[in-house]
Amino acid sequence: MELIPNPDSLGLPGPVWFLLLLHETTQTIHFVFMNFVLGGSWFLLWLHFGRKVDWKEQLYQRCLSVMPIALSMTITFGIAPLLFVQTLYGQFFYTANVIMGGFWLGLLAILVVAFYLVYVLKAKRGSDDRYSSPSIRFVLHLVIALGFTIIAFLHTANGVLTVSPHLWESAYSDSLWGTLFGKSDLLVPRFLHNLVGALGIAGIWIVWIGNYRGSLNPSEQARSGVLLSAGATMLQMVLGFWYLSALPSEMVKTIMRVDSSLGWHFAGSIAVAIPFVVCVIALTAVPCHRGLRWLTSTIGSLLVFGMVTFSGKVREALLVEHFDLSQWTVNTQSGPILVFLTLFSLGLVCIGWIAWILWNGFAESSEVTEESLY
Amino acid sequence: MWEYPTWEVPGLGSGMVIGLIATVHVLVAHFSVGAGVILAIGETTARRNKDLSLLAFLKIFSKWLLLIGFVFGAVSGVAIWFSISLAATRATSMLIHTFVWFWAIEWVFFLVEIVAGYAYYSSWGRVPARHHLVLAWIYASAAWMSLFVISGILSFMLSPGKWLETGNVWDGFLNPTFLPTVFLRTLSSLGLASLSAMVIVNLYSKFSRDERTRIINFAAQFLWPLVLMLPVAYWYFEGIPSFAKTLIQGGAAAMTLFFLFGIAASTLVGVYAYFGLIRAKRYINLETALLLLSIAVIATVSMEFVREGIRKPYIIYDRLYANNLAVDEVERANSEGVLASAPWKRIGLPEHPDPHLLGEKMYEIQCSGCHVMNGFNDVGLLIDGWPKEMLAYNLDRLHQLKPFMPPLVGTEEERRALVIYLMNLQDNEGANPDRKEVARDGIDSQS
């Protein structure tokens, strides 16, 4: 393919495995937060209709207040994998970005609007909503949820273009969407897989929020999350197979062979998916079980990590005829890496301390009085 | 050389889009950094002096920081990434393959900044005062550190210094304009945040006139350092490449004016803050605060504009030209041809394109980044009335005659094609009297 740019002649400033590891761990965290934002925005739309019921109202308020933080974390943890994907796969990733052009940049405009709309919904006058008209709130919820969904879709489109150099010419010079919808088998199943996955993980978040201190009806609240998660997970199995079958048939054969790296990554993901399904089903019976909640969340995060690494492998395989990560010349910058790792560890300590004081601070009193402010 | 496809933005040009986003982002990001310092020092002072109205103000201020800095600032920061990778793809790739660890370091600070900031905002009255104070200082340090790190990368683009010979990333990061950039940006962060505080305090009727005056006088402490702008700008100036200096010294009138304006406006605001607000303890109302803030905004934008402008013709100084041609590729481009190294521009082209088509591609590849057709810096207007020989002569010496442009490269055939294409552009303009008018007017008013 003469359209594929050469790998940057400056080479990689660190070993491939290390960059990949950072890419995949940060992307996992990005997904975990993103899943609450995307899935949670649809869940909020549903809760919006049940606000007469006490426990739903409480869950609604709580989900809404988690939303901005989750959004900020999604953005922050999106930046890191953005850095590493450019480093590892720049020649494919940038090309896909440019082909998408205004759509790629435009997703951020949607993001900023949706972000501010969340604050509009959250705004209070005393203890009441500042903007209280149910129909306007409904429209806002819909706009937010659709906005996040469109952003997810644009990301999928970019991901598909990144691994499909054979579509570039026609996507660039004829029609972007015509090409993607007409010539890519991956686009739709991959998007649905991401969307439904987000609902599944968002459900687990809701289990946590529903069980948070002072919950009015923890079992109902948590159950609504588990049910979302369970439903999405069932659907996900079907979608997963659709996505799989959309891959080139040669690759599917490799995936089915456990002696290939692609195969054991797939097997690994499935090996995590099964206990996850079991846990979610168990949670439907005991939605407030603390140990089970932890277990499900841990396995759920591992599952997201499994999916991220597996899809990294798929990307590698889809591009292998053009490029292989081992082609990079590596000029490791040990000094800067050391500084980064040191600061990263200190940063984590700092964040840990912050989490600890917040946890204690919010445990003591639930109401803030004017006097206690200072 | 031109291995990537290009993103076309009609009328404006993709470079302009980067410029707009970067400008807005710089303002918000600077506000976030300065606000951290004001919160940290403010809360320390307020708690020491038991100043409840200052505390009440800081609480409000932290909400503004959250709504502006964390939402708009964060997204516009990502938008810079997206836009540079669309509009300056090759440069972005070179920067990331050089500085990814520095960006990763900046990201760590950004992460801590966001977490500490949310915690700070949401824990007023919830955590013990001393913990809240620590949060303020963590936020302020992390935010300033991210400014510190990013300054190294930004200043690198203008003055890569020893990196050009050694290729060592530390040489690139610790380049001649790194420290002055850190200082300049710190000053303007403090200034912008301080003036924003003066605007914000005036928006809340719950503060009495006295309280407002006290808060404004407090905020003015962060404004007077702007008087240092002149020496710091001089220090910066000393570090930049010599051709960039000549642009500021009068080689490009716009650069000179913006540079002087930026320094003068900042200095004056600083002097006013010292004598009017700190010594004489005066009050300023909403309108005046807004006026001062606007001046500071324009000064900051001017300095950013100069920083970008004096880098011409390069995007990474002495290494990569603004049109994605690397300095050491000139000869190859002359012998092998431009189109031969621009696969995306060959899409749909016949094996031997006619001169018009070839000329158009030459233009798109080498010129359109700075000269937008029918838009910003339209080349048709610049060459209006030039005879063919003059055009051909000037184009061959583009870089010598106007050193803020990269050299024209290409085979003989390609250069001739560009001349034909541009001449044709002139003829078409002749057929469009309106445009001719505009061009003439422009020239008349200049002479």
Q: Residue A355's pLDDT band (boundaries 50, 70, 90)?
A: very high
pLDDT at B434: 45
Measure B76 CA to nearest chain A CA, in Å: 8
Tokens of B271: 């002097």
Q: Does B20 touch chain A (CB under 8 A)?
A: no
Q: Which chain A residues are closer than 8 Å to B49 by Cβ? A: none
Cis previous bond, A81, omega within 30? no
The residue of chain A with its CA nearest to that of B137 is: A350
B370 and chain A in contact, CB less than 8 A: no
pLDDT tens profile B105-120: 999 999 999 999 999 9
Please give the average per-residue pLDDT across A104-122, as a whole number: 97
* ipTM score for this prediction: 0.95
Nearest to B127 among A8, A91, A361 (CB): A361
Select from B85, B101, B108 the Cβ nearest to the Cβ of A94. Answer: B85
pTM higher than 0.80? yes
Beta carbons of B143 and B95 less than 8 angstroms apart: no
Which ranges in chain A belong to alpha helices (H)?
A: 16-48, 54-100, 102-122, 134-162, 165-173, 176-183, 187-210, 218-246, 249-255, 261-285, 290-319, 334-364
Query: B96 to chain A: which residues are within 8 Å by CB?
Result: 83, 86-87, 90
CA distance B188 to B31: 9
Residue B75 to residue A94, Cβ atoms within 8 A: no
Q: Would you call B59 and A368 a contact, using CB atoms and an 8 Å cutoff?
A: no
Task: Say whether pLDDT at A359 is over 80.
Answer: yes
- Summarised one tens digit per residue, pLDDT across range A145-203 is 999 999 999 999 999 999 999 999 999 999 999 999 999 999 999 999 999 999 999 99
B155 to chain A nearest CA, in Å?
A: 18
Contact B83 A12 (CB under 8 A): no
Q: Which residues contact A65 (CB under 8 A, 6 or more apart)?
A: A122
What is the per-residue pLDDT across A321-347, written as a single tens digit (0 to 9) for each?
999 999 999 999 999 999 999 999 999
- Please give the C-alpha separations between residue A74 and each of A15, A153, A227, B26, B75, in angstroms, as whole numbers: 26, 16, 24, 22, 11
Residue A319 has pLDDT above 90, yes or no: yes
At residue B374, the pLDDT reads 80
Domains, chain B, with CATH or none: 14-321 (1.20.1630), 333-446 (no CATH)
Residues of B in contact with A68 (CB under 8 A): 71
Which domains does chain A possess?
16-332 (1.20.1630), 334-374 (no CATH)
pLDDT at B35: 98
Q: How confident is the model at residue A1 (pLDDT cuts 50, 70, 90)?
A: low
The answer to whether the CB atoms of B127 and A69 lie below 8 A apart is no
8 Å CB contact of B127 and A357 = yes
Rounded to 5 degrees, φ, ψ at A95 are: -60, -45
What is the rounded average pLDDT of the residues A4-26? 97
Whether B96 sits inside 8 A of A365 (CB atoms) is no
Enumerate residues 6+ apart whose C-beta is below 8 A from A241: none
Question: Which residue ranges in chain B fall short of pLDDT 50?
Answer: 430-447
Identity at A193, one-letter amino acid code: H
- Report CB contact under 8 Å: A3, B89: no
Cβ–Cβ gap B110/A11 under 8 Å: no
**For B100-159, how does the pLDDT look when each residue is reduced to its tens digit (9 = 90+)?**
999 999 999 999 999 999 999 999 999 999 999 999 999 999 999 999 999 999 999 999
Residues 153-192 of A with CB under 8 A from B: 168-169, 172-173
3-class DSSP state for residue A124?
strand
Q: What is the pLDDT of residue A133?
A: 92
Position A37 scores a pLDDT of 98
**Residue burial B58-97, b: 16+ Cβ < 10 Å; e: rest:** bbbbbebbbbbbbbbbbbbbbbbbbbbbbbbbbbbbbbbb
- B-facing residues of A in 320-339 (CB < 8 A) are 333, 335-337, 339
Give B116's contacts in chain A (Cβ within 8 Å).
350, 354
Nearest CA in chain B to A173: B347
For A239-277, the pLDDT digits (tens) are 999 999 999 999 999 999 888 889 999 999 999 999 999
Taking CB atoms and an 8 Å cutoff, what residues of chain B touch A357? 119, 123, 127, 131, 135
Q: Name which of B72, B109, B111 is nearest A112 (Cβ-Cβ).
A: B72
Q: Cα(A176)–Cα(A168) distance, rounded to whole angstroms?
A: 9
A357 touches chain B (CB under 8 A): yes
A76:B111 CB<8 A: yes
Find residues 108-137 of chain B whose CB sits inside 8 Å of chain A: 108-112, 114-116, 118-119, 122-129, 131, 135
Q: Which A positions 44-73 lie with beta carbon below 8 A of chain B?
A: 68-69, 72-73
- What percent of chain A lies above the pLDDT cut of 90? 90
Instruction: List the single residue in A77, A82, A373 with the smallest CB-CB distance to B125.
Output: A373
pLDDT of amino acid A306: 95
**What is the C-alpha separation between B431 and A110, in angstroms, rounded?**
42
